[in-house]
Amino acid sequence: MRLSDPLTVTAADAATDGTADADQHPSPRLWTARQTLLAVVAVPVLVAVGLLCGFLAPALVTAIVLVALVLVTTAIWVGLRGRYRSWSYREREDDLIVARGLLVRRLSVVPYGRMQFLDVTAGPIDRWFGLATVQLHTAAATSDARIPGLPLAEARRLRDRLAALGEARGAGL
Amino acid sequence: MTAPPTGPAPTPAELADVPAQWTRLHPLSPLITFARTLGVVLVIIVPRLATRSGDLVGLGVEAGILLLGVVAGFISWLVTRWRVSGNELQIETGLLRRQSIRLPLARVQAIDIDRPLLARVFGLAELRLQVAGSGSGRGRLAYLPEAEASRVRAQLLALANGLHGGTPAPTGQLLFTVDNRRLVLATLLGTPSLVLVVLAAVAVVLGVLTDSATTGLGMIPPIFAVAALLWRRLNAEFGLTVVEAPDGLRVDGGLLGTRHETIPLPRVQAVRWDEPLLWRPFGWCRLEIDVAQQREARRDDNSAFPDRALLPVGTRQQASAVLARVLPDVDPYRALDARPPARARFKAPLAYRNLGLWSDERYVVCGSGVLRRRLVVVPLAKVQSLRFVQGPYARLLRLATVHIDLVGRAWHAAAHARDEGEADQLWPVLAGRARRARSGAGRRVSAPSTSERLSEQQPI
């Protein structure tokens, strides 16, 4: 295996490459939750815009605006499913890998030893679906490793495991 | 700047005086701290005194305000005291809202001595203790007499290194002195002036086209802004010297105000090697250093030093020599040997010739920059996290970028627009190398030198 010169992959690199840990995914309820959130926001907006246009604008304009809004909402509705389905994470021996994104593909590698703190958050709709978001923070402002839509038990397990690993592997700055 | 960088070693008699008792700052401190406010007040009051000498009420009010200020300054001096107790620096301040600060010396990242212009006039200096994360506002002793400041600094550093408080500061070896004539020229040729010239050209063209002089007036604020920027940089970096000592790199310099800072080498997060466009014909470059600390120069002090370079301007040989002491065995130019594939020109047409990547077991070097070539050297042991990012356009070109996250928010390194397949291999390789570098760094501390012990005591 050889990258473009002079970044040559050494034997040490190859030896630690490829761990067998499996990819894990957020709960399938995640995109249902996000779609519910979208519906909660979009339906009142649609009704409000429809009423406003109905009173103030000609019928044709109202129809065009409503159809456009419905189309956009549907596109987001469908897109959300793909976006949240693309989310996956993998707990390796020394670091956590989080991959996401359909349009913009992103992948974050955060070593356990670099974790400064962990966030577990759950909004009202997430709570209703029994989901939570786990986010890792390092000393770098640009680090971004967030796993949304974990079932509460899994979120708790991940939090405790990451916290324990962070303690064990902690390194100075 | 006139003081020799290493300074005369303090005599044992001087060192014997450990301030274990509560001590006050220099009585003139409030005057310097509030100098700017005082100046403004005087500017308002003095002309009115001259013109309305008969108006006793107005005079009384103004004198009262001035007196109130003096009393407030005096009280702030009276209630502020500090001492070194055990391995802590303790500062107590505030009359109504008492604040008691305990700074464990083992957590101190660096100790700087600042001498703003006014403080220099009175022979005073400010001592700043840098602690990771928190700003410098907490651990400052402003102001002390200059001799006392350097003595206290040596003592605190010795204590921070786990030595006896009376140990004199170790002497060092001069690494670099900036050539002041070159510095002036280079500062004028830097990016701010380039921006100014472009702005001026736009203004002239607009002025000719619209046939009016008002567009010329619009140029005045940017000219002042750029002049102020250049002046601040020059003021901070004039006569800069770098001395290598066992406790780190000592950087001294300044024109009107001076600053003396010590950078512990194990703290270095990354080094930036910059070559602005107009410096290229001269073969000059600039080295900046990233340490895990934040200066709050903007808000809290009147010295207002900008972040200073390690090497404001120098030849490539000088820069290589200094870099070799900070991060040994790395040649940043090798990054330019491994450019992204030619199709990356469609993604980054202007920056393409500055893009590049190089890595071994200890470092990763990334090149970037449109006008200015910027090579960031990151010790792999300091990498916080890695990110692979591929947008739709990059996917079309089968390119991807691997970001290397560094402490804080100011610095950034990224291997831009690499081949997709290469980037896919790159992040696991870099992650593995960073892991080995971290554990390697952990092992090395088992036999700490003085400077390394400083780092070992403060895992954050």
Around B424, how many Cα atoms within 13 Å sit in the side-chain half-sphere?
9
H or E, element range at B222:
helix B220-237
Q: Is B433 on the interface with A (CB under 8 A)?
A: yes
Q: What tokens appear for B9 in the block?
A: 């070693």
Rg (CA), chain B: 26
DSSP symbol at B266: G
- Of all residues in chain A, the one with the smallest CA distance to B425 is A3
Give the minimum alpha-carbon distance from A102 to chain B in angstroms, rounded to a whole number.
Answer: 9
- Of all residues in chain B, the one with the smallest CA distance to A115 is B384
User: Is the sign of the CA dihedral B125, B127, B133, B138 positive or negative?
Assistant: negative
If one compares A55 and B324, the residue with the highest pLDDT of the two is B324
CA distances from B435 to A109, B123, B332 (A): 11, 49, 22
Q: Is B338 on the interface with A (CB under 8 A)?
A: yes
Low-confidence ranges of chain B (pLDDT < 70): 1-19, 48-49, 52-55, 132-138, 163-170, 212-216, 292-308, 441-460
Q: What is the pLDDT, as a whole number, of residue A108?
A: 94
By the 8 A CB rule, do A87 and A99 touch?
A: yes
Q: What is the pLDDT, as a whole number, of residue B383?
A: 92
Q: Is B431 on the interface with A (CB under 8 A)?
A: yes
Asked if the Cβ–Cβ distance from B338 to A142 is below 8 Å, we say no
Cis peptide before A6 (omega within 30 of 0): yes
Asked if the Cβ–Cβ distance from B432 to A114 is below 8 Å, we say no
By the 8 A CB rule, do B115 and B125 touch?
A: yes
Which residues in chain A touch residue B269, judged by CB atoms under 8 angstroms apart? 173
Which residues in chain B touch residue A4, judged by CB atoms under 8 angstroms apart? 338, 419, 422
**pLDDT tens digit string along B31-51?**
888 887 778 877 877 776 677
* Interface mutation target, options B293, B405, B418, B460, chain A, most CBs of A under 10 Å: B405
Residues 69-88 of A with CB under 8 A from B: none
In whole angstroms, what separates CA B316 from the centre of its chain? 22
Q: What tokens appear for B442 in the block?
A: 């952990």
Amino acid at site B163: L
Which residues in chain A touch residue B400, judged by CB atoms under 8 angstroms apart? 105
Chain A, chain B: beta-carbon pairs less than 8 Å apart: 126
- pTM comes to 0.77
Which residues in chain A touch residue B403, judged by CB atoms under 8 angstroms apart? 142
Q: What is the pLDDT, as a whole number, of residue B440?
A: 78
Asked if the Cβ–Cβ distance from B384 to A145 is below 8 Å, we say no
| Number of helical H runs and strand E runs in chain A | 5, 6
Residues 124-143 of B with CB under 8 A from A: 132
Q: Is B337 on the interface with A (CB under 8 A)?
A: yes
Q: Is A143 on the interface with B (CB under 8 A)?
A: yes
Q: Is A11 on the interface with B (CB under 8 A)?
A: no
In whole angstroms, what separates CA B51 from the centre of its chain? 46
- CA dist B274 and B309 (Å) reads 10
pLDDT of residue A19 exceeding 70, the answer is no
Mean pLDDT of A43-55: 85
CA distances from B239 to A24, B255, B399 (A): 57, 7, 45
**pLDDT tens digit string along A76-129?**
888 888 888 889 999 888 889 999 988 899 999 999 988 888 889 998 888 899
- CA dist A119 and A126 (Å) reads 15
Asked if the Cβ–Cβ distance from A107 to B358 is below 8 Å, we say no
Asked if the Cβ–Cβ distance from A109 to B389 is below 8 Å, we say no
